[in-house]
Amino acid sequence: VRYGNVMGSRGSVIPFFLEKKKTGVLPITDPGMTRFNISLQEGVEMVLWALQNARGGEIFVPKIPSYRITDVAKAIGPECDHPVVGIRPGEKIHEEMITESDGFNTWDLGTYYCILPASTIWELNDWTISHSAVRVPVGFKYNSGQNTEWDTVETLRQKIKDHVDS
């Protein structure tokens, strides 16, 4: 599975911002920065689904909302200063879960995308029927900046309360 940032995990900006809120300053790396957003529970449910449905070699990617780093800052500390400090070496503006080259082997399963291996030991036609799979369009890629589903300041605030810090 490939599922992006898990809310509240060590790699998530949310615990960092919750701690920095005490200082009154939430540093923004780049105002255009985006990431995908998934709760730990959603990640676990996806892993269990993949274990039940995988035939071998697939990579499952959930269809989940993106968030803007500025919206996370507003959700956690609207009263704080939000200075732009610049991105760190190697950091990306948008998170990419399916590259354009992966798109050639990607199928839409409804709730998830699936990147198939170059060759399979199972019958592709049977797999597509059993998963109601539809091939994605040529040139498809899935990144947090071009996503069609977005968390807002309000939905982020609620998710943080529900999954990270009540």
Chain segment 35-46, per-residue pLDDT in tens: 999 999 999 999
The 10 Å Cβ neighbour count of residue 100 is 14
3-state helix, strand, coil in the chain (%, to 5): 35, 20, 50
User: What pLDDT was estimated at residue 94?
Assistant: 96
Q: What is the pTM of this model?
A: 0.89
User: What pLDDT was estimated at residue 129?
Assistant: 92
